[in-house]
A and B are shown apart, each in its own frame.
Chain A
Amino acid sequence: MLRWKKKRICRFCEAGDVYIDFRDEKRLVRFLTEQGKIVPRRTSGNCAQHQRQLAKAIKRARHLALIPFVSDIPR
């Protein structure tokens, strides 16, 4: 059974980033679903180290109201 589209390259490794900053929310938003959930590793293709860093960055950004905790699509 084919699951989701496979992208097996970690974008942060590609860019050679050592640390994911929670301050640039534009970058973090790409790793959130429409609802504001963190995209799992199997979808984003991040490596374990960067996914951990990313999760931390997203949580810090959420706390500082840079990113929403939940963003519901108005119906």
Chain B
Amino acid sequence: MEKLYCTIYIVDISQNPEEEEAVTSRIQQLIEDHGGIIQRINRWGKKRLAYPIQKKTHGYYVEIEFTAKSVLNIPAILEQEYRVNDRVLRYLTYVVDKKELIQRAKKAGKKAEKEAPAAEKKETPAAPEAPAAEAPAAEPEAPQVTEPAEGENPPVAETEAPVTEEAQEAAQENEEKKEEK
């Protein structure tokens, strides 16, 4: 089955700042040689580690996303490489969940919406204020500026459903608590 994997690793660049490129090209090659297709390479850059690893306080984070058939077992191959390569401080490889993709799409949608209405709103206030018929139509648009979390028409239906479920759950939990007491 074709799966989307994500692998993140931390490279030690305290000795040689070009180490990261060497490791990345090696990993890339490994993935491609074994039949994976690289979708995205995201370099987070040099970051401070939350706790020292092998006495290093900083590391270079690289994230690679690739698709591959699960039969090929690429994560195992990568792990072998990571273990042998002593420039890699930490690594994490996982199968990307469907939910993560949904969340990413949502985020991207929000961003697009944020930018789009901003441009629209500049035009609307200058436009007719006097006509009473258009006033109610303009109002529902206005609050969207303050809460960009809410999407336009189609996402509203999505967001409403979980809220009601949540309310039910909360009520149930409250009841359980009462019983406990």
Q: How far is the CA of A17 from the CA of B90 in the complex (A)?
A: 28
Q: How far is the CA of A69 from the CA of B103 in the complex (A)?
A: 26
Q: Which of B148-181 contact A (CB under 8 A)?
A: 149, 158-159, 162-163, 166, 169-170, 173-174
Q: How far is the CA of A61 from the CA of B129 in the complex (A)?
A: 51
How many residues of chain A are within 8 Å of chain B by beta carbon?
22
Of the listed stretches B21-29, B45-53, B118-126, chain A binds B45-53
Number of A-B contacts (CB under 8 A): 54
Decide yes or no whether B36 CB sits under 8 A from chain A. Answer: no
Highest count of chain B CB atoms <10 Å: which of A16, A17, A47, A63 = A16
| B100 contact from A10, A13, A16, A21, Cβ within 8 A | A21
Q: Are B50 and A66 in contact (CB under 8 A)?
A: yes
**Can you list 25 A-B pairs, Cβ within 8 angstroms, ordered by A?**
A8-B170, A8-B173, A9-B166, A9-B170, A13-B162, A13-B166, A15-B149, A16-B106, A16-B149, A17-B103, A18-B106, A19-B99, A19-B100, A19-B103, A21-B103, A60-B94, A63-B90, A64-B8, A65-B49, A65-B50, A65-B59, A65-B89, A65-B90, A68-B51, A69-B51
How many residues of chain B are within 8 Å of chain A by beta carbon?
28
Q: How far is the CA of A14 from the CA of B57 in the complex (A)?
A: 37
**In the complex where A19-B99, A69-B51 touch, is A64 in contact with B174 (Cβ < 8 A)?**
no
Decide yes or no whether B64 CB sits under 8 A from chain A. Answer: no
One digit per residue, 1 when the CB lies within 8 angstroms of any chain B CB and 0 when it does not, for chain A 53-75 equals 00000001011111111000000
Q: How far is the CA of A53 from the CA of B178 in the complex (A)?
A: 27
Highest count of chain B CB atoms <10 Å: which of A13, A19, A69 = A19
Q: Are B53 and A13 in contact (CB under 8 A)?
A: no
The 10 A-B residue pairs with the shortest CB-CB distance, nearest first, are A19-B103, A65-B49, A19-B99, A68-B50, A13-B166, A19-B100, A16-B159, A18-B99, A65-B50, A18-B102
One digit per residue, 1 when the CB lies within 8 angstroms of any chain B CB and 0 when it does not, for chain A 1-42 equals 000000011100111111101000100000000000000000
Q: Are A18 and B166 in contact (CB under 8 A)?
A: no
Q: How far is the CA of A46 from the CA of B163 in the complex (A)?
A: 13
Q: How far is the CA of A43 from the CA of B102 in the complex (A)?
A: 28
Decide yes or no whether B2 CB sits under 8 A from chain A. Answer: no
**In the complex where A13-B166, A16-B158 touch, is A65 in contact with B53 (Cβ < 8 A)?**
yes
| A67 contact from B50, B59, B159, B173, Cβ within 8 A | B50
